[in-house]
Amino acid sequence: MSHVRTPQPKSRPAWLKSVRAALIATVAVCVVLLAFAWPTATSRVENLPVAVVGSQEQIDTVTQKMPDHLLELHPVANREDAVNGIRSRDVYGGIVLGEQPEILTASAASPVASQMLTGVGTNMQRGIDQQVIAGMQQALQKMASGGGAAPGGPGAPGQNGGAASDGTASGGAAQAQRGAGAQQAPGAPGATPPTVKVTDVVPLSDDDTRGSGLAIAGLPLTMGGMIGGVLISLLVTGVRKHLLAIALYGVLGGLALAGILQGVFGILQANYWVNAAATGLGIAATASVIVGLNSLIGRPGIAVGAVLTMFIGNPISALTQPKEFILPPFGEIGQWLVPGLSGTVLRDLSYFPEANIAGQIWALIG
């Protein structure tokens, strides 16, 4: 009895596996680069919400000298309203116009926005100085054109020449002073030109003067949530055990991470226990997303949760720049993913206690 040999499928050459691995790795590294570089590369410095105090004529004069769409101005009644808007995080800063111009910033909200508003103040001061110089030049021109005396007049030689000369000089000086005063402050002759004052309403702490601490903290918080979610997915089974593990991880991880961020590096401010609760809530939310996706679709859910958190949520979280600068609508979307929610809550707890963060807290709980 003859045996019929079943044909065996041809195996792919080993070098094809190497090529496939190299191609997959290339695609992966390109995706990582795009995920982290894209928000910065496509960011636009425009539409920054800023409060403004002044008449409509003054506001129009200022906006005419600014690039289009640089600021989104919100007129308010007075300086106090502008300060309240900054502290409640409705705006990033304020511009006070009038006889005592002032730029209000909040470096704790965004060092980038604070620097931009400081530049606006510098340009305002330059414009005031140019007006004063132009007024002085006009006054000097008038003085020079009126300095000559008509023949036989009071300034003619031989007719009280010395006195006439002194009188002309003193009159010209007075005229120059009046012209400069009119340019410097209308209705206040001889006044010094106004100086644009810059006030940091909500400054950063001495331990984080550049504001990089909160931005840097976003990555370990995101990684921490991912690590917890992966380990719980792999080591724990059952819904109740999942929930217990996530809750314990949130408590213990929040206490530990807040202790490092606040006690060791001084990045977080305010009450330690409140910061620990917010930190724990953030990492528990990330872990729960990964554990939930793993329960729904199996092991691929871990990868989906990691990509959603690290490569989508973290880059558009607006931890390093205002969300208005990120290409719409991704800046706003990033504020409702876990990294953006956690970053906003921790920043507001540290520097903006008057801000309303109830929505962010409930979103993280959800």
Share of the chain above pLDDT 70, in %: 84
Residue 191: pLDDT band by 50, 70, 90 thresholds? low
Report the chain's mean pLDDT, rounded to a whole number. 84
Q: Quick: pLDDT tens for 253-268.
A: 999 999 999 999 999 9
pLDDT at residue 13, rounded to an integer: 64
Q: Quick: pLDDT tens for 144-186.
A: 887 544 444 444 444 444 333 444 334 443 433 333 333 344 4
Q: Quick: pLDDT tens for 53-106.
A: 999 998 988 888 888 888 999 999 999 999 999 999 999 999 999 889 999 999
Q: How much is the average pLDDT of 119-123?
A: 91
pLDDT at residue 35, rounded to an integer: 82
Within 8 A by CB and 6+ apart from 15, the residues are none
Whether 124 has a pLDDT exceeding 70, the answer reads yes
pLDDT at residue 182, rounded to an integer: 38
Residue 8: pLDDT band by 50, 70, 90 thresholds? low
Whether 247 has a pLDDT exceeding 60, the answer reads yes
pLDDT at residue 185, rounded to an integer: 44
Q: Quick: pLDDT tens for 26-40.
A: 998 888 888 888 887
More confident residue, 179 or 300: 300
The model carries a pTM of: 0.77
